[in-house]
């Protein structure tokens, strides 16, 4: 933008936010999409991604404001900077979408995911699983003589690492919620 003396971010609109325009490098972005909690909104958002060939790495949704009928959809997506800009603009023009935040560029944020992991085993493997769970601060939420269900919350990478360690120890099932994320600091 420099030759034209337009301040970067001189508008809230994503079109002005021209980071590294021609980069072909894939970036991972976490988007928080605040939508009216009405039927079909989620289908519209998902349809946008499938219809235009964008990636969804993870997607979570739940009502967050019952009185105001708002839901928050958190989407982790991967694309070139140009594709990420398009995704935000396309999301922004869906009529029941109220706000689109790119948590990856709007300053620091925290991201957490919850996972439940079922590990089956006996003897040393079982003891080792429990020991590693302590190190990773995973909780035991169910146990039988031959299995544990661990609950853990953390960044997706931490859950990946824990799951990798549990695999040889008898990991047989895993359920993950996908990422929930918030910007750090006070109200935006």
Partner 1 sequence: MSQQTNAAQMTGAKMVVQALKDQGVEVVFGYPGGAVLPIYDELFQQNEIRHILVRHEQGATHMAEGYARSTGKPGVVLVTSGPGATNAVTGLTDALMDSIPLVVISGQVPTFLIGTDGFQEADTVGITRPCTKNNWLVKDPDNLAETIHQAFHVATTGRPGPVLVDIPKDVQFADGTYTPPQKAKVDHYQPRVKGDIAAITALVELIEQAERPVFYTGGGVINSGPAACQLLCELADSTGFPVTSTLMGLGAYPASGKNWLGMLGMHGLYEANMAMHDCDLMINVGARFDDRITGRVNAFSPHSTKAHIDIDPSSVNKVIRVDLPIIGDVGHVLEDLLRIWKSRGRKTNKEGLAKWRSQIEEWKAVNCLAYKGSDSIIKPQYAMQRLEALTKGRDRYITTEVGQHQMWAAQFLHFDAPNRWMTSGGLGTMGYGLPASIGVQVAHPDALVINVAGEASWLMNMQEMGTAVQFRAPVKQFILNNERLGMVRQWQQLLHGERYSHSWSESLPDFVKLAEAFGCKGIKVDHPDQLDDAIMEMINYDGPVIFDCLVEKHENCLPMIPSGNAHNDMLLPSDDVRAITGAGAALV
The residues of the shown chain that bind partner 1, judged by CB under 8 A, are 1, 3-7, 10-11, 13-16, 18, 21-22, 36, 39-40, 43-44, 47, 51, 82, 85-86, 89-90, 92-96, 98
Residue 129 in contact with residue 148, Cβ under 8 Å?
yes
Q: How far is the CB of 136 from partner 1 (least distance, A)?
A: 42
Closest C-alpha to 75, from 108, 30, 42: 30
Residue 81 in contact with residue 27, Cβ under 8 Å?
yes
Q: Return the number of the residue (59 or 117) whose C-beta is nearest partner 1.
A: 59
- φ and ψ of 124, to 5 deg: -60, -40
Q: Return the number of the residue (17 or 113) whose C-beta is nearest partner 1.
A: 17
Q: Return the number of the residue (38 or 173) whose C-beta is nearest partner 1.
A: 38
Q: How far is the CB of 186 from partner 1 (least distance, A)?
A: 25
Q: Return the number of the residue (105 or 130) whose C-beta is nearest partner 1.
A: 105
Q: How far is the CB of 94 from partner 1 (least distance, A)?
A: 8
Q: Give the number of other CB atoms < 10 A from CB of residue 105.
A: 16
Measured CA to CA, the distance from residue 96 to residue 70 in angstroms comes to 10
Q: Return the number of the residue (46 or 132) whose C-beta is nearest partner 1.
A: 46
Q: How far is the CB of 142 from partner 1 (least distance, A)?
A: 35
Residue 105 in contact with residue 28, Cβ under 8 Å?
no
Q: How far is the CB of 109 from partner 1 (least distance, A)?
A: 23
Measured CA to CA, the distance from residue 161 to residue 171 in angstroms comes to 13
Measured CA to CA, the distance from residue 115 to residue 54 in angstroms comes to 25
């Amino acid at each position: 933008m420099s030759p034209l003396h337009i301040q970067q971010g001189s508008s809230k609109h994503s079109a002005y936010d021209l980071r590294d325009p021609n980069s072909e490098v894939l970036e991972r972005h976490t988007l928080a999409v605040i939508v009216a909690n009405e039927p079909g909104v989620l289908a519209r958002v998902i349809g946008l991604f499938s219809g235009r060939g964008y990636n969804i790495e993870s997607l979570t949704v739940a009502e967050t404001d019952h009185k105001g009928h708002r839901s928050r959809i958190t989407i982790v997506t991967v694309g070139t900077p140009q594709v990420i800009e398009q995704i935000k603009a396309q999301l922004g023009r869906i009529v029941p979408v109220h706000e689109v935040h790119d948590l990856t560029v709007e300053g620091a944020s925290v991201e957490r995911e919850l996972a439940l992991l079922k590990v089956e085993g006996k003897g040393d493997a079982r003891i080792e699983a429990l020991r590693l769970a302590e190190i990773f601060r995973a909780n035991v939420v169910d146990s039988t003589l031959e299995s544990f269900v661990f609950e853990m919350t953390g960044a997706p990478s931490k859950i990946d690492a824990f799951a990798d360690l549990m695999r040889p120890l008898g990991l047989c099932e895993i359920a993950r919620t996908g990422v929930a994320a918030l910007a750090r600091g006070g109200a935006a």
